[in-house]
Amino acid sequence: MNMNLNTDILIIGGGPAGLQAALTIGRVHRNAVLLDDGRYRNAPVAHMHNVLGQDGTPPADFRKQGREELAAYPTVQVLDARAEVLAGDVTTGFVAALTDGREVHARRVILATGVRDELPDVPGLADLWGDRAAQCPFCHAHEFSGTRSGILGATRAEHYVALLRPVAGELLILPLPGEEGLPAPTGTPQAAAPVARLTEVPDGVEVTFTDGGTARVAVVFTAARFHQSAPFAEQLGLALNESGCIRINIFGRTSQEGVFAAGDLAHHPELPMPMPSVINALAAGQTAASAAIASLL
Ligand SMILES: Cc1cc2nc3c(=O)[nH]c(=O)nc-3n(C[C@H](O)[C@H](O)[C@H](O)COP(=O)(O)OP(=O)(O)OC[C@H]3O[C@@H](n4cnc5c(N)ncnc54)[C@H](O)[C@@H]3O)c2cc1C
């Protein structure tokens, strides 16, 4: 039996960008297949913030509600499946090979596969990520208002200090190895020795320094590096921005006709990096879906 699927628009990714793209396509009764292999960037987060109407909602509840809403649109099919290889072009059509052996054939593709975060190489940081360690003050700072907040990494500390000063009670810059001696922004305390290890304790994070000293903070902010979480930009030879994210125009079009991208994995070249947030991913998903539909008309 042939288990392959044919559709107008293939969406790869079931985070906010992909789910919203599917909703937009379903609203005008176009066919779409959405693939989701269940690896969401905000998976370790208990509550998402800065999302109007959903401030504090657990991300998993948000995705579940999105899928339930999509069930009302019969032209949209959501599959828990992983795409491995994506090939083709707008003339011949696109083919995604799934790890379960099936293929999805589509006239257009929306990539919404997100990014994965490469964290500074500090033992213990990954265990805290999304809970007592995060990148984004807009998402994560308010819950730690008035506490002592750590900024891991002296090189980009100035930006964090400026953003966090009105929220945090106290700031402490925690240099990474190799950053010792870098000047701190005026008036902000900075540890003399680099961080050796971070450990969760009941009321926060214990920081151990390479000289054996320790300090306590409630939360740690640090900048991660983004990487494409899927190989499709490379497989299709899409143009990238310096950030490593896919280059798109304001309609979510990539450098290859018929291929669109939305969410954390892509941004307009005027931006230095994506503006990674649930709201921006939703908006980008809607834009890319509208553009993909327009290209079919
Ligand atoms: C620690 C942390 C906290 C955050 N907190 C907030 C917050 O409070 N508020 C906020 O607005 N934003 C927050 N963000 C940012 C937010 O999580 C992202 O901006 C948002 O999830 C981006 O959505 P997306 O759809 O682009 O990608 P994602 O949500 O990462 O979804 C990517 C999708 O692609 C799928 N996928 C990838 N590869 C494949 C493949 N080969 N085959 C099939 N499917 C595939 C994945 O399974 C997933 O479904 C946070 C991020 C982090 C790291």
Average pLDDT for residues 14-41, to the nearest whole number? 98
Give the residues across from 95 on adjacent strands: 87, 105
Query: In terms of DSSP bridges, do strands 115-118 and 225-228 run parallel, antiparallel, or are they unpaired?
Result: antiparallel
CATH of 5-117+225-296 given 3.50.50.60, 3.60.110.10, 3.40.50.2300, 2.40.110.10 = 3.50.50.60
Are 136 and 163 spatial neighbours (Cβ–Cβ below 8 Å)?
no
pLDDT exceeds 90 at position 149: yes
Return the ligand 1 atom nearest residue 279 CA: 11
Average pLDDT for residues 178-184, to the nearest whole number? 85
The predicted pLDDT at position 200 comes to: 96
Q: Is 274 a pocket residue for ligand 1 (Cβ < 6 Å)?
A: no
Residue ID of nearest Cα to ligand 1 atom 31: 15
From ligand 1's centre to the CA of 276, what distance in Å?
A: 9
Return the ligand 1 atom nearest residue 19 CA: 25
* Domain coordinates in residue numbering, the chain: 5-117+225-296, 120-222
Average pLDDT for residues 262-285, to the nearest whole number? 96
Distances (CA, A) of 283 to 106, 166, 287: 23, 29, 6
φ and ψ at residue 202, rounded to 5 degrees:
-55, -40
The predicted pLDDT at position 194 comes to: 96
Q: Identify the band that residue 7 occupies on the pLDDT scale cut at 50, 70 and 90.
A: very high
- Among 2-6, 39-43, 75-79, 141-145, the minimum mean pLDDT is found in 2-6
What would the CATH number be for the domain defined by 120-222?
A: 3.50.50.60
Q: Identify the band that residue 2 occupies on the pLDDT scale cut at 50, 70 and 90.
A: low
Q: Identify the band that residue 26 occupies on the pLDDT scale cut at 50, 70 and 90.
A: very high
- Among 9-13, 27-31, 153-157, 244-248, the minimum mean pLDDT is found in 153-157
The predicted pLDDT at position 1 comes to: 54
Q: Is 220 a pocket residue for ligand 1 (Cβ < 6 Å)?
A: no
What is the Cα–Cα distance from 75 to 7, expressed in whole angstroms?
9
Q: Is 147 a pocket residue for ligand 1 (Cβ < 6 Å)?
A: no
Give the up-direction half-sphere exposure of residue 109: CA atoms within 13 A in the CB hemisphere.
Answer: 31
Q: Identify the band that residue 187 occupies on the pLDDT scale cut at 50, 70 and 90.
A: confident
The predicted pLDDT at position 257 comes to: 98
From ligand 1's centre to the CA of 125, what distance in Å?
A: 19
From ligand 1's centre to the CA of 135, what distance in Å?
A: 14
Give the residues across from 7 on adjacent strands: 106
Are 1 and 17 spatial neighbours (Cβ–Cβ below 8 Å)?
no
The predicted pLDDT at position 183 comes to: 83
From ligand 1's centre to the CA of 148, what distance in Å?
A: 28
- Among 216-220, 223-227, 288-292, the minimum mean pLDDT is found in 223-227
Task: Output the pTM of the full model.
Answer: 0.96
The predicted pLDDT at position 182 comes to: 84
Equal CATH topology for 5-117+225-296 and 120-222: yes
Q: Identify the band that residue 185 occupies on the pLDDT scale cut at 50, 70 and 90.
A: confident
